[in-house]
Amino acid sequence: MPVEVDVTDGPGRGQTVCDLRGQRLGPIDREGATVRVALETEGTLAPHMMERLLALRAPDAEANVA
């Protein structure tokens, strides 16, 4: 599916926009696709993602957090 990041000056700036038109009958793999989009999770994705992202912080970053 086509995926773009909104770079306009509107309220959607920075959002990832996935064009789901054409996916009405279920997921379709596209040749040459460079992304995969998760449309559902089991509810554990957000905490896991935060844990992983926070683990990437520089070791001295905690000292700079106010």
pLDDT band, very low/low/confident/very high, at 29 (cuts 50, 70, 90): confident
Cβ-Cβ contacts under 8 Å for 16 (sequence gap 6 or more): 3, 4, 5, 6
Q: Give me Rg for the CA atoms of the chain.
A: 17
The domain ranges of the chain are 3-57
pLDDT band, very low/low/confident/very high, at 63 (cuts 50, 70, 90): low
Mean pLDDT computed over 34-41? 76
